[in-house]
A = this chain, B = another copy of it.
Amino acid sequence: MALANENYLKTPEIYCFDDIDKRVNAYKVLHPTAKIIRLGVGDVSLPLPGEVVKALHYAVDEMASAETFRGYSPPQGYDFLIEKIVKEYRSRSILINKESVFVNDGAKSDIGNIGHVLGRDNIIAIADPVYPVYENATIMSGRAGIMLDDQKWSNIVYLKCNEETGFKPELPEERVDIIYLCSPNNPTGTALTKTELKQWVDYALDNNAILIFDAAYQAYVSRQDVPQSIYEIKGARKVAVEIQSFSKSHGFTGLRCGYSIFPEELIVYSHEGEAVPLNKLWGRRNANYTNGVSYIVQKAAEATFSRKGKAEMSAMIEYYKRNAALIRKQLMLEGLKVYGGVDSPYVWFKTPGGIPSWKFFHTLLYDFQIIATPGIIFGQAGEGYMRFTGFSSFEDTVTALERIKNQF
C-alpha cells in the first residue's frame, strides 16, 4: 500500500499567499471596476533591465546555432557565473571559493530542500513572525511535532520577535540545531546589525548549530553597520549557509535564478559525532535532484555583474526603496508604529488600535482598494500587524498613500 507523507496533511491546504488572492478575487467579482492597488505582494513590477535583456537575446541566439548550443549545465552552475559571484564577494573582502557556490532557480527551492540533507532529529528555530516557507518545510519534513493549543508546533523553537525586541529575533533559551535567519527581514523589514548578527554566529559556533541565512534582500542594505553577507562576521563560514537571489535585486522573479553558498568549512555531524562537510552533501543532492539552471538565465544573471548591470540594479533598488520610504513616512505621520522600510523593501506596521490583521486587510481592500499582507500569515506574533511593500510602481504607491491619508 503506497503511503503518504502524512506530515504534509498538517500544513494548510491553501498556501497563505493564495488565500489573499482568493479574497481579492471575491472582492473583484463584486466590484469589477475598482482600481485595486497591490501594496502587499513581494513581487517586482519594473521590467528587466537593459543589460539583462541584451544578455538574454544573445544567449538565445547562441542556443539557436549548432556551434554555440549548450545542453546540460554543470549541476552547480556555469563557471562564468560562479566566477562573477566569487569576485563580487571578494570585492567586499569576503573570500569564498568556487566550490562553495551553487547556482539555483531561486531562493525558495534551496530554503525548503536544505532540510533534506539534514538529519530528522534536528531542532529547528524560526522567528515568529517569519516567511512561512521555513515553518511549512519544517512541518512537511516531519520535524515539527504536534500542534499545540496556541497554534505553535511542539518541536519548533520560536524565536521571540515582537515589539519588545524591536521585531528582531532573540537568542533561544533552549538549545537548537538549525536556525533560519532572514536579514533584511521578510516580513518585518528589520535588518540585523553586525553586532546583532555576531551574537547568532557565536551562538552557532558555541553550540555546533548552523544558520540558514536568507539574504534575498541583501541588495537593499544601505546602513554601514548592517552586513550584506553573513560572512562579514568572523567564524560564519564554519556555521552559515547563505542563500542569495537575483529576484528582488534584479527583477528576476519571473526569470528564476539565485545561488547558495555552502562553505567547505561548514560542518554538521553524524549521530556518532563525526564531522560531515555540508558542502559535500549538498553537492550530492544537487547532482541527483537537479539538472541545473537554464543557460540563458545564467547568462542573464552574469550580465548583472557588469558595470552597467550594477548601475541598473542600483536604480531599481533605489526606485523600490523610495516607495518603501514614502510608505514608512506616511504611516508614521498617521501615528502608526512602523518597522523596516530603510534597508528593506518591506514596511511592517501595527494596525490602528491593534485590530486583527485579517480585519484590517478587509478594511484596506473594501474601503481603500489597497491590498496589504496580513501579519498573521507570518505567525502568531504577526497578529495585529500588516506588511506593505515598495514593489509597486511609484505612481500607484503615491495614489495608495493618498487614499489612506488621515484615515486612521
Contact = CB atoms under 8 A, between A and B. Distances in A.
A23 to B, nearest CB: 17
A60 B63 contact: no
A6 to B, nearest CB: 5
Interface string A10-32: 01010100100000000000000
B53 A66 contact: no
A214 to B, nearest CB: 14
A291 B119 contact: no
A403 interface: no
B208 A2 contact: yes
Contact of A4 (B8, B72, B278): B278
A36 to B, nearest CB: 16
Contact of A5 (B13, B56, B73, B116): B116
B71 A296 contact: no
A48 interface: yes
A30 to B, nearest CB: 23
A6 B254 contact: no
A247 B294 CA distance: 12
A69 B43 contact: no
Chain A: number of interface residues, binned into ranges: 35 or more
Contact of A285 (B8, B46, B280): B8
Interface string A107-134: 0110011001111111000000000110
Contacts of A254: 63, 69-73, 294-295
Nearest to A11: B284
Contacts of A370: none
B271 A6 contact: yes
- Number of copies of this protein chain within its complex: 2
Contacts of A5: 116-120, 281
Contacts of A121: 3
Contacts of A297: 294, 297
A276 to B, nearest CB: 4
A367 B2 CA distance: 49
B8 A281 contact: yes
Nearest to A282: B8
30 contacts: A1-B177, A2-B118, A2-B210, A3-B268, A4-B119, A4-B276, A5-B116, A5-B119, A8-B117, A8-B281, A9-B276, A11-B288, A13-B284, A15-B75, A45-B69, A47-B65, A47-B69, A48-B69, A53-B61, A53-B63, A56-B56, A56-B60, A60-B60, A73-B254, A109-B289, A113-B289, A116-B140, A140-B288, A254-B294, A256-B294
Interface of A: 1-6, 8-9, 11, 13, 15, 18, 43-48, 50, 53, 56-57, 60-61, 63-66, 69-73, 75, 105-106, 108-109, 112-113, 116-122, 132-133, 136-137, 140-141, 177-178, 207-210, 247, 251, 253-256, 268-271, 273, 276, 278, 280-281, 284-285, 287-297, 393
